[in-house]
Each structure stands twice: as C-alpha cells, then as structure tokens.
Chain A
C-alpha cells in the first residue's frame, strides 16, 4: 500500500514543502492539505510543518488552532491518527491541547539557527520507532519561541510516562525546561518536536540524514498496521 501523509499549509507555513520532500524521500506519498479545508482526504497521518502561521501574531499557533482543518486533525488524532508537529506545528499542537505545556520566547531572546544534537528518549512512538532507544542524532534547530515550559507536575508526569521523545544534548539552545526538545501524548501517536528533522534528510542540504527516521518510522508503522 502507498502510505499517504498529509502536510498542512496554514497562511505563513514555511517548511511545508520541506516536510513534503521528507515524506517523499521516506517512501510515502505527500498530500498537501489546506487550512480552510475540513477534508483531509483520507490521509494516514498528518504533519503540521514549521513556519510562522498567521505571522505568529497573538501567540504562536494560537490562530491556526482554530482553522477548519484542525477540527478534523484534532478529532482524528484523538482517535489515534499519527500527527507530527514540527516547530510551529508543535506550538499548534500545544494550543490545541493535544499536547501539554507551551513554547515561549527563547531565553537568549534571539532567534537561533544551529545544528542541534538530540537524544531520542522514546523510540516507541509512531514517529520514532526507526530510531534506537537513546540514539543520538543531529538535526537543524531554528526558532525564536522554542522554549518548552510546563508546570513541575506536568514535567514529572511526562518523564514518568516516557513521553519525553527527545532531549537537547550539549547545548540547551532556548532554555527549554529539563532540556526537552519533543514530547508525545499518552498514546504516542501525537508528537511535537521543536527541531527540524525534515531539514536533515539529504546529505547535500542538511547536516546529515538523521532526521529521516521520523518519516520512515511512520511509514513502517502504517505499512505494518
């Protein structure tokens, strides 16, 4: 079967084509989804890409969360459809309450773009099963508001339940609490990630190809399902 992965374009999405490319390189079929369209065309999974949807005005992700496409995405995610939110997509997932916590201004107060080392701390989610537990990977990171924050209780619960998907290594680039780079929901089908695995899928244009695993993971999961 051909796995079809939808990539949503909001007004101001920037890395939508990159996410589509990563899906294609992983061997799946990318399907462009439009924010105003409730219909997600029977895709098997959805990526919410990076960017500055609605200019990040009000709060990052706060307006996108109310777009028609998100009604469907939120409902189907609750039913188990795999959803990956990258950067701005992570912010949308938090605003949608599919994931806990929030992303706030980097502690440096600067936008930061760098090749970031991560540790995959849960290789059991829909989007990380192609990685080894505790595998270290390097992918680009680029954000101005990427500092993951949550209350102590939530942080403790995320750690206790193995829902910290990835943690920053060597450098915490934005002041995220407990070096958290990505988390999942309890079921493991919804993952939010601040770094950009879709920019590490070709040796020519990225720091390597270690981001591809997120996209091959979903392919394998859906083919085997």
Chain B
C-alpha cells in the first residue's frame, strides 16, 4: 500500500493476480471473491480498504440485519415517527413543531484499550450523528458496565472512561443527565461504554444523508485527517479480544472536543441559512463511509479528488485516508451557488473546509489521487448491499440448567429476623451496583445550557426544549444483563419495560425507543440465539407498548476468548411532557405524605440484586413481564403527575422496594414508616423485583382522588406507609437511621476509587 506504486483502477485490471491483504483487513475469502465479482476485476488497494471497513460487522450489520428487520416489520403505528431506522438517527415529533432525534451507540472495545480516548470519542461520534440530522444536541447520557468493582483493572478502566466522558462532554457544553453504572465480572475484559445523545430541531430542519443534484459540491469540513483510528471498525470493533489482552491501541481515535464544539456551532449556522442539500458525519469507516453512503442514498454518482483532503500527516496513502477515523469531521453536499457562503461560515468558526468533489449524473463513486483513478465502484455495493449472514443459532444446552437453579427459600438462605432484614437492606444499599454514584456523576456538567429539569439519580433525565411553553422531553436508559442471561427474550422486554416506567415515573409520555444491543461473538450459535431472542422480545414488546424503535446500534464480539459477556440489550426510551413544571421527582420531601405501592409483588428473585449481593447467585427465571400492566401503570403515573395527585414517584427495579425506599428517602432527607401488609412475607415485599411496580408519595388531600383513579382503572395500589421521621422503619421488623444508611450508600465509591 505504498504511494510509490499507486494501485490505480487500470493497474488493477492489468494485474488480476496481485496478492492483496484482504484477510489482514478483516475480510473473509468469500467476501473478497464477492468484491471481485461486483467489480469484474480485483479491487484496487483503495477499493479494498473501503469494502473492508464498510463490510465490517460494525458498519454492515451483516450478522444482525436479518434479526433487526423485525423492528421495522413489527413497528407499531405511531404518528410520532418522522424518520425511522437507517438514517444517522431516528426523529420523533414531540409537538409544537418540534422534532427530537436521539440514539445510543457503543464504544466498547476502544474504551477498554484506551479508556479516556475511547469513551471521549464515543461521545463525539454520537453527538455528530445527532448533529447530522439537523438538530442541536442538547444532552448526553452514558450507560456503562464494568467488571468487578474491586478488580484492579476496573480501577484503570472506570476512572479513565469517566474522565473521558467528562472531558469531552463538559468541553462540548452538553449536560450529562443520566445513564447507568453496573458492575459484573462478566464485563471484566470487555466493559460496555454506551453513549446516548438527544437533539432538538424544528420539523422543517430535518436533514438527511444523501447526495443529490449533479454538479453539487462535496465539502469536507472540520479536523484535518490523520493516521488515527485506521481500521477501527473492522479490526477493532468487529473482532474478539484474545486472552492476552489488548494489542490494538493504534486503532483507537483521539478526540478534540474543542474542534467538535466549533463544528457544532458552524454546522447549525449553515443549517440555519439553508446551505446544505445533504450531510453525513465521519465516524466509523471515515471517508469511505461518508462518500459511499451519501452517494448510495442520492440520485447520482460522486467524483472525489482525494488529494485535496487536508492532512495532519502528509505521508498518508489514499487507502489510509479512506480508512482513517480521525474525529470531528463532517461531509456536506452544497449547491455551487452556496459554496462561498458555506466556506465563509466555516472561516468564521475557524473550521477548515475544502471542496473535495462533486455529485455527478453517473452511477459510480469515482475517487482520484493526483489525477489518477483509484476507486470506481457502484456506491450501493459498498454502503448498503454488503453481505448478509444467516448465522446459525441454537439455544445453549446450559440454558435449562441455569433456569432450573431458581433462588428458592430452600436453595438460598433468606433473611428472616429484623436484624437479618436490616443487614440485607444495608448491604444492598452499599453494594457498588446500588450505591450512590455521585463520585462519577459529579465529574459531569449537568447544568450547562440551562434547561436541565431532572438529572441523575432521578428515574429519567428531563430537558426543557421550549422556554416559553415549557415543553420538555425525558429519557431513560436501562438494561439488565443478568435477566437477559436467564431469558434473553424476557430480559430485553424487561429492559424496555423499565426504561418506559422510568420515563412515565417522571410524568412524561413514552414515545419511542433506541437500543444498543451488546452481545458476544455472532459466530457462536449460543450468542446468536441470545441475540435473536432479545431482538424478538424487544420488537414484540415495542409493538404492545406502541413505542417504535427509531434506531440504535449493535455491538458484537463483546467477549474475551470463548467467554461472552451477559447478553446486554440496553434500551433508551424517549418521552414528552407538555409542561416540565409538572415533572415528578423521586425524593420523598414532605413529611406526612402517604406512600403507595403500585402493582403486584410476587416471589420473584431470579437474577435479582439480592441474589447477587447476598449469594453471588444467578439462576432461575427473571421476573415476569406484563406489558399491558406496564402501560396502565405508566398512564396512571402520567395522569397523577399532570393533575397534581402525587409529589414523588420512583420505579421499583434492582433491589426492589428496599432500594427504592432508600433512594427516595435519602434524596429527600426524610424517613419512612412502612407497614408490611397482613399475610405478606417482609423479605419478598422488600427484595422481590417483580416488574410493573412503582412507589409514589401522595399528599393526604389527594388520597381519595388518587385511589379512586387507581381503583377505576384496575391498578393495584396499596397504602404501605407514610413519609416520616429520620429513619426507615419497617414496623415490627427493624428500623435503620438515615444517617447510617447515608454513610453506607455514599461511602462505597470514594472507598473504591479514592
């Protein structure tokens, strides 16, 4: 691949038998042959580079596509959907002429190899996706999963990831409003660093990634292109790590958030002046992706003069320029008459912009290097018609055994006495998975832009999008790999149910879904079965809840050697709230308010936090899902919020009622007196993780109205206690002072991480 012997199209035609490094670039033998068949000759080095990155698992979804189809096929009819799967991000109508775009993506492997830059550029990439839709990015969130909290390598990965997210996001001026932090040994060699961004625009401002109109100019703008991130999507994101650990550092990109901030402001200004026909960000697969996707989605062909690309390193070859994943770059299609103004705005923001080519009326993507043609391909074959695999899948033989190992009272000793119950509650509240996360979240700016209504640790993050009308959106992300391991179909549905419930708990109406599907190697039939089941479960559940999947990301090969992570579908739900002043926080703040438990509690401890913390146990079945019940609970929570019947709400999930009480009480600085209903096992009441439940604080004056509503709609609502005092008292069993709880809950992270 040296510049001395430029591998031109004509040279390739003359030398059909030249050796090519297709295997090193991550291509399989039959894929290489297919490229030769498409072109009717061997590919040039530049063409091979483009196909190799675009046909990678990360870019082409070749293993997942056949299953992802369900999200479209089963999508519920929704008036809210403006742009669906396939674009940079989905777009949802939230009323008053506003559209919201949101998406979650993974940056798992880069973040393990180089935690700071991996996590930082994860933020950068998802923000550009949102920007490319025409939206101003308004907030980010980060669902994170690490190995055991006390493992030495977690002390390397976690602080680096957190600093990277903060360093990039804070410098970009985007509030970080929530996410998740989960520890489990299954993520030891393969942490999950997912990043979500949400953006807001007016309907008429939606932009798409397509190059149309012969003669329109192709402008590359933003950072110079360097040698970083070459092959990031193919050799890094689409391969399993070996047991010997990371060895692929040069494939990780390096971020410059200051450049990205300029890119955002500059891009929004060119949008505002309507200077852009089509736009695409440069992320995974860099220029290969941007040029082929823009041309493929447009009406004609494209001609690019690659030697015009501004470089950080003048020695880069055409192949390397096409594969580079240098950050903070965008590619716009601009009518000739508007180019001058476009460049002027870029100059205003100190952003380098270069016309690198134009849209043609042909059907080929043609790329030239100092006048010689190095690429001549049908763009669709690169961008949208890559290989598709029907990977074999099979329910693993260990699944039955796992499910049979239920955490019954006979198998796992349960706390019975008051002292035992109290100890269980305290241990749970102090476990890294349930402990206070402000060591992490205080490193993120949650105030910038001045529209953050709710941020972590609230059930969902909430952003005001109109300062006059108080229209707002809420977002929550959830996922539980333990549940999904026990039953991937149900696990995916539980992730959706929890995120849906979290959005409703803050008073917002759930509208749409984005997902980040983190799984092991698709070449393992057991993993493929988990993936297929999770997709089926999620698609089915979205249909029932009326919330379509608008886009997202699949991350495969999350495994070390033969050992895959727990299947971890992370689901983000977006909701809308007409008046953010009506939001419901989670804190119990008013003495004397009544605590109601909504929903049914059954003996469901499979995959629970209690089973993990008390017995290091994973077995049985996850909690059952009743989606109609979830929808009813959501409607009740939204109505109660709108009509002022509740002052606090908190969803019940990991750690059950016990953990929810701890969080609501500590947040509000008030205690709670709880009465265990007759005939109820206090352990099950406190620690079961039955789905479809929430606790609410009801002012006494609203009690009748609230219980009437629940009664009329058929939602079980049990008055279990009152907000009172400075301890959590489970009457007749135990009492724990808030001070003691606070210490247990707050000191875990500082003790682990300093």
Contacts and interface: CB of A to CB of B under 8 A. Distances in A.
Interface string A189-209: 000000010110010111000
Contacts of B349: 11
B166 A111 contact: yes
A77 to B, nearest CB: 26
Contact of A111 (B443, B449, B451, B580): B443
Interface stretch (A51-59, A94-102, A130-138, A157-165): A51-59
A117 interface: no
A14 interface: yes
A113 B443 CA distance: 6
A18 B258 contact: no
Contacts of B448: 14-15, 18, 50, 142, 199
Contacts of B464: 204-205
Given A54-B258, A112-B442, A205 B451 contact: yes
A205 B262 contact: no
Nearest to A140: B447
A-B complex: 3 closest residue pairs judged by Cβ atoms: A55-B258, A14-B173, A18-B450
B450 A55 contact: no
A11 B445 contact: no
Contacts of A204: 453, 464, 580-581
A205 B450 contact: yes
Contact of B444 (A14, A113, A199): A113
A27 interface: no
B460 to A, nearest CB: 16
Interface centre among A21, A113, A206 (most CB of B within 10 A): A113
B212 interface: no
A38 interface: no
Given A52-B258, A57-B258, A113-B447, A205 B453 contact: yes
Interface string B416-455: 0000000000000000000000000111111111111100
A205 B349 CA distance: 30
B450 A199 contact: yes
B446 A113 contact: yes
Contacts of B345: none
B735 interface: no
Contacts of A206: 447
Contact of A12 (B171, B450, B580): B171
B408 to A, nearest CB: 45
Contacts of A144: 170
B696 interface: no
B167 interface: yes
A57 B443 CA distance: 20
B372 interface: no
B482 interface: no
Interface in B143-196: 163, 166-167, 170-173
Contact of A142 (B350, B447, B450): B447
Interface string B560-598: 000000000000000000001100000000000000000
A15 B276 CA distance: 28
B442 A52 contact: no
A105 interface: no
Given A110-B443, A113-B445, A204-B580, A55 B453 contact: no
Given A52-B171, A111-B445, 13 more contacts: A11-B258, A12-B262, A18-B449, A18-B450, A55-B171, A111-B163, A111-B166, A111-B167, A111-B170, A112-B443, A199-B448, A205-B447, A205-B464
Interface centre among A54, A114, A140, A199 (most CB of B within 10 A): A199
Interface string A7-26: 00001101101100100000
A126 B550 CA distance: 51
Contacts of B446: 113
14 contacts: A11-B258, A12-B262, A14-B173, A17-B449, A18-B448, A18-B449, A18-B450, A52-B171, A55-B257, A112-B443, A142-B447, A198-B450, A204-B580, A205-B450
B602 interface: no
Contacts of B581: 204
Given A12-B262, A205-B453, A142 B171 contact: no
Interface in A170-214: 196, 198-199, 202, 204-206
Contacts of B363: none
Contacts of B163: 110-111
A106 to B, nearest CB: 10
Nearest to A199: B447
Contacts of B452: 205
B42 interface: no
A209 to B, nearest CB: 13
B448 to A, nearest CB: 5
A50 B450 CA distance: 12
B256 interface: yes
B501 interface: no
